[in-house]
Amino acid sequence: EIVLTQSPATLSLSPGERATLSCRASQSVSSYLAWYQQKPGQAPRLLIYDASNRATGIPARFSGSGSGTDFTLTISSLEPEDFAVYYCQQRSNWPLITFGQGTRLEIK
Amino acid sequence: QITLKESGPTLVKPTQTLTLTCTFSGFSLSTSGVGVGWIRQPPGKALEWLALIYWDDDKRYSPSLKSRLTITKDTSKNQVVLTMTNMDPVDTATYYCAHSVYAKFFDYWGQGTLVTVSS
């Protein structure tokens, strides 16, 4: 079973700073990696798919990179609305889909 | 415009069977590549994928819950139904349904429905 490990668990930064979130897979997932943002009381929102493609309507300050087992979500300059929990998700043959445990991005 | 909405009981007793319905609009579940998945999230915890059904009626389940889950679709009604047997308090969670393309990602989500398991 493919396990996704996200780090750090919590990231404390200030608006305007750069955020770098990591997601590591226990085995290769090729580029089948997506990132989601979730705010309290809301459903997750797709940010990045296929490791590096921004979803419709996602600001350019969000970018994704990586392939194989190591992936990164970067937020170039944090806006107040970016403080939330971020999840990565992979798709493979088995199990079909798994999520990481999440990274909480909080205001410093 | 794609929308999805979950419906079902908010409270179930231990050992009962949970039946949740996802009613969607803006897409067809007979279109090649399209799928609808179920994901849950216990309070304060991470997302957990449960099941997904493809346009061709192929069904996939989380290995850890496979024995308790059944997913079906009614294309004419634009609905996907998830049943989960033998509910336990640890199954208390918000349950989401979501639209997927080739199961690579979930691009549209329902608002979620909170299900509490308690006697």
Average pLDDT over residues B45-55: 97
At residue A96, does pLDDT exceed 90? no
Tell whether B2 lies on the interface with A, counting CB pairs under 8 A.
no
* Residue pLDDT, tens place only, B52-103: 999 999 999 999 999 999 999 999 999 999 999 999 999 999 999 999 988 8
Contacts of B111 in chain A (CB under 8 A): 43
Contacts of B39 in chain A (CB under 8 A): 99
Residues 6+ apart with CB under 8 A from B32: B55, B56
- Specify the pLDDT at position B16: 98
Average pLDDT over residues A89-106: 90
- Specify the pLDDT at position A88: 98
- Specify the pLDDT at position B103: 85
Q: Are B117 and B104 in contact (CB under 8 A)?
A: no
What is the pLDDT confidence band of residue A92, given thresholds at 50, 70 and 90?
confident
What is the pLDDT confidence band of residue A30, given thresholds at 50, 70 and 90?
very high
Neighbouring-strand partners of residue A4: A25
At residue A104, does pLDDT exceed 90? yes
Share of chain B above pLDDT 70, in %: 100
Helix %, strand %, coil % for chain A, to 5? 5, 50, 45
Are A87 and B62 within 8 A, CB to CB? no
At residue A93, does pLDDT exceed 80? no
- Specify the pLDDT at position A11: 98
At residue B24, does pLDDT exceed 90? yes
Distance between CA atoms of A88 and A51, rounded to whole angstroms?
A: 10
